[in-house]
């Protein structure tokens, strides 16, 4: 069994968060350290630690996350100018909380995806 995360407590509303969307499958809430004017995290209501842990049984949840991301972008008035969706996976992918989540970022021109790469 995987260790529960802070996101699980947000989903159950045990920790206060600015929830912008919730249904039986997923929850969307504003990031407490936004990297853009609009920065919303979209998480499955069940604990899936990383993208590597996704199986065929999670197909409906992942598809639903993408559909709801576009609906939230529309509601937040960033769909016309554009937005970015990011899923980080494990340490080298900069994943900090091991509960699968999509970052929805927008509200300004975001610039290049990667600003620096370290040479080996």
Beta bridge partners of 110: none
Other residues' Cβ atoms within 10 Å of the Cβ of residue 76: 17
Structure tokens at 61: 């949840």
For the chain, which domains are there?
A: 6-106 (3.30.428.10)
Q: What is the pLDDT of residue 2?
A: 63
pLDDT tens track of the chain, all 120 residues? 468 899 999 999 999 999 999 999 999 999 999 999 999 999 999 999 999 999 999 999 999 999 999 999 999 999 999 999 999 999 999 999 999 999 999 999 988 876 555 554
Query: How far is Cα 23 from Cα 64, in angstroms, rounded to an integer?
Result: 10
Active site residue 101: yes
Structure tokens at 85: 């969706």
The active-site residue, picked from 39, 58, 101, 103, is: 101
Structure tokens at 8: 């699980």
Q: What is the pLDDT of residue 114?
A: 61
Beta bridge partners of 103: 41, 86
Q: Is the dihedral of CA 88, 14, 47, 84 positive or negative?
A: negative
């Amino acid at each position: 069994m995987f260790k529960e995360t802070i996101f699980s407590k947000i989903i159950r509303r045990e920790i206060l968060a600015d929830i912008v969307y919730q249904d039986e499958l997923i929850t969307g809430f504003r990031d407490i350290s936004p990297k853009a004017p609009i920065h919303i995290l979209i998480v499955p209501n069940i604990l899936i630690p990383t993208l590597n842990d996704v199986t065929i049984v999670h197909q409906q949840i992942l598809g639903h996350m993408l559909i709801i991301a576009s609906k939230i972008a529309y509601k937040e008035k960033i769909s016309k100018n554009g937005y970015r969706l990011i899923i980080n996976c494990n340490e080298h992918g900069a994943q900090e909380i091991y509960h699968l989540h999509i970052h929805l970022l927008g509200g300004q021109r975001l610039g290049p995806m990667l600003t620096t790469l370290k040479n080996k």
